[in-house]
């Protein structure tokens, strides 16, 4: 059985966290990924290193890849790099344009050599507009695109998310753009093209419901903690045993099934909370009623009652609870990989799930130069 992307050659010139995940995800589904590294190794190998001297993040971004060492400070190295871009189906870069120009690897230069190439560039603000070329990162994209300003409690400061959402959104957007361009080329008889992935625009996609729900020129939405302005109840709640649950039962039908659990299904309660427009006017009151009810029972009791009433709810897992959850274990959603001196590393399983050509972890992160001979022989003939 062939993998979904079997035969797709991806040359990864990128580094750090966001852009390299594009090629890693493509590799999950069978693409042949060659990761270009300088003689001393990619800087990501040393970012936040552990006791073994190798970053555990390297296992995440370099899975399913082969390592090709290229010294771009020499004419020979630049020539090798250009030859590799000439035979790749996809090229992923996130270096500044001046550096790519020095290598002869700007999108126009690559497409001139290889008209069928899909050249994916990743930058904070994209390659067009007044801020093109301005340095940035996923966290800055979250701030610039409005996510940070909407994160946190109403009377507190704006907060960056506790995980690099911006970087991972970039990776997913980059994968979508890559596959769209490959489909245009391979299924529609088109040519290669430049895929311009900014870091802030995928965050805007995440904010789509907020943007669409803003009735200008009203005051823009503000920080609301774990609540949302357009629906109630939607929050995290603490149970009597100290556990936390997330509840999101904001439709009229869901609230209609919730009110009896709260002991508030009298006609006057239904009139006050039964319709969305009415309960939004009493959102604080309803949220407080839900919080008090949940606080009166242990988390397992609350979750059982809510699920029986078909009200969306889930435990707020820590990582230990997540990896031991029977559903996560049954689906293999998290994989433990033996990966070098740091020992086992937890990695998310490939997603989404394809019935006929599922993704899989083909190989752990390579050592420096590991797989280079195979790439040079297969791509360049030696």
End-to-end CA distance of the chain: 28
Please tell me whether residue 123 adopts helix, strand or coil conformation.
strand
Q: Cα–Cα–Cα angle for 157, 149, 285, nearest 5°?
A: 75
* DSSP structural state of residue 43: G
Instruction: Name, in order, each residue with C-beta under 8 angstroms of 269's C-beta and a sequence gap of 6 or more.
Output: 259
Contact yes or no for 168/93 (Cβ under 8 A): no
Q: Nearest Cα to 17, choosing from 116, 86, 94?
A: 94
Contact yes or no for 78/103 (Cβ under 8 A): yes
Q: Give the Cα separation of 372 and 66 in Å (integer).
A: 6
Please tell me whether residue 237 adopts helix, strand or coil conformation.
strand
Contact yes or no for 91/74 (Cβ under 8 A): no
> How many other CB atoms are there within 10 angstroms of residue 195's CB atom?
24
Cα 221 to Cα 121, 145, 211, 215: the distances in Å are: 32, 14, 9, 10
Contact yes or no for 264/280 (Cβ under 8 A): no
Mark whether 71 is an active-site residue: no
- Which one of the listed residues 28, 42, 167, 339 is annotated catalytic? 167
Contact yes or no for 238/295 (Cβ under 8 A): yes
Catalytic (active-site) positions: 167
């Amino acid at each position: 059985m062939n993998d979904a992307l079997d035969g797709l050659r991806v040359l990864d010139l990128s580094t750090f966290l966001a852009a390299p995940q594009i090629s890693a995800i493509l590799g999950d589904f069978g693409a042949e990924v060659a990761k270009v590294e300088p003689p001393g190794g990619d800087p990501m190998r040393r970012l936040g290193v552990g006791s073994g001297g190798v970053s555990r993040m390297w296992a995440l971004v370099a899975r399913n890849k082969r390592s090709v060492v290229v010294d771009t400070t020499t004419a020979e190295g630049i020539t090798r790099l250009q030859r590799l871009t000439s035979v790749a189906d996809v090229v992923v870069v996130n270096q500044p344009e001046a550096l790519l120009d020095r290598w002869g690897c700007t999108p126009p230069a690559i497409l001139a050599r290889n008209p069928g190439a899909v050249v994916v560039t990743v930058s904070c603000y994209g390659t067009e507009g007044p801020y093109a070329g301005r340095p940035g990162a996923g966290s800055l994209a979250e701030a610039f695109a409005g996510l940070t300003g909407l994160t946190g409690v109403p009377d507190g400061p704006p907060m960056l998310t506790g995980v690099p959402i911006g970087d991972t959104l970039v990776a997913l957007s980059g994968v979508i753009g890559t596959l769209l361009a490959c489909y245009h080329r391979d299924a529609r008889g088109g040519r290669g093209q430049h895929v311009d992935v900014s870091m802030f625009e995928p965050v805007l996609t995440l904010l789509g419901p907020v943007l669409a729900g803003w009735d200008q020129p009203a005051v823009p939405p503000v920080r609301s903690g774990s609540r949302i302005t357009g629906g109630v109840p939607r929050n995290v709640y603490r149970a009597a045993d100290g556990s936390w649950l997330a509840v999101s039962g904001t439709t009229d039908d869901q609230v209609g099934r919730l009110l009896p659990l709260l002991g508030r299904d009298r006609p006057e309660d239904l009139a006050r909370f039964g319709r969305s427009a009415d309960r939004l006017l009493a959102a604080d009151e309803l949220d407080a009623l839900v919080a008090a009810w949940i606080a009166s029972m242990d988390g397992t009791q609350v979750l059982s009652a809510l699920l029986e009433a078909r009200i969306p709810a889930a435990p707020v897992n820590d990582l230990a609870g997540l990896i031991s959850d029977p559903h996560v274990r049954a689906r293999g959603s998290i994989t433990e990989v033996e990966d070098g001196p740091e020992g086992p590393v937890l990695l998310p399983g490939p997603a989404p799930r394809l019935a006929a050509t599922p993704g899989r972890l083909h190989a752990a992160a390579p050592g420096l130069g590991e797989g280079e001979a195979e790439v040079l022989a297969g791509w360049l003939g030696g």
